Structure 1
Amino acid sequence: LMINTMDLCFPRINNMSFWFLIPSLMLMISASMKGVMNGVGWTMYPPLTSIQYFMSSSIEMMIFSLHIAGISSIASSINFISTILLMKNKNYFLSNMTLFTLSILITTFLLLLALPVLAGAVTMILMDRNFNTSFFDPSGGGDPILYQHLFW
């Protein structure tokens, strides 16, 4: 509405991204109810999430939930970027946009840059737990600080 359009550029992608959030939320709630998440924290640091220290499968459920929510956010970001850049009025330049529209555009670009890196980091945790890799295990040649660099 702020760029004089009636709807988003891809309304079905918008609908899909909304409906991806519901299973993600249900999976995250069931993961928190399934196992005791004490000591893991909201950042899921690798020494605390390794299979030696935390045997519950709720970490895998939480990682899968984060992947689904990430897919939803990436789809919404692509939809917002394409709507702002493609469906605006021809006389409506980026310098004439409102601050809210510019902040949405910048935020969606940042989401497109950050979410694949975060998804890769939690996938590496998943690989360390289930497929005997050692991305973050110092005894296998991994670096536990790498996750902090990828997360932050």
Structure 2
Amino acid sequence: MVLAAQKTAQHTTVGGVEVAAAMVRWAYRSPAPQAVEASQLSDQIMATTASPSFKDLEGSTKANPNSSGGVVADGVPFYLSTISGVWYVESASADKVTASIGSAFVVDGALSPNLRSVSTFTLVWSDNGWRIESGEFKRTTQEVFAIGTPFSGGC
């Protein structure tokens, strides 16, 4: 999913947002991504300028098998969806986009009406499309859902 988004995303701000949203959907789920999948993705999606610890998707998925931050109990299947989500561009230039992605939890197959998450990613343009340079929790869910643009479709 992330690599497909990277492959089709255009060299535009919206293209960067599309890749950031795909990364959110891939990273925040349980069961967590398998180590081999995380390692392969890291090689293709992380920017060369990303810190070594940030690039280590395999290590972070092993160390943090419940990426919900305690919102969802350990062992309960979940993922994030942008169906009712929003996006907000924090900053953008020709080759760099920082975007906050607001998404909703899907817990045990049901889209939650009130459990939300926000992640902010900085992406840089490369010969291989948009690559992720860094990530953070910059804003609250309330902020991003108040100022964000709704996704026109979602996964």
Q: Under a length normalisation based on structure 2, what TM-score does the superposition of the two structures give?
A: 0.25
Greater relative contact order: 1 or 2 (C-alpha under 8 angstroms, separation 6 or more)? 1
Q: TM-score, normalised by structure 1?
A: 0.26
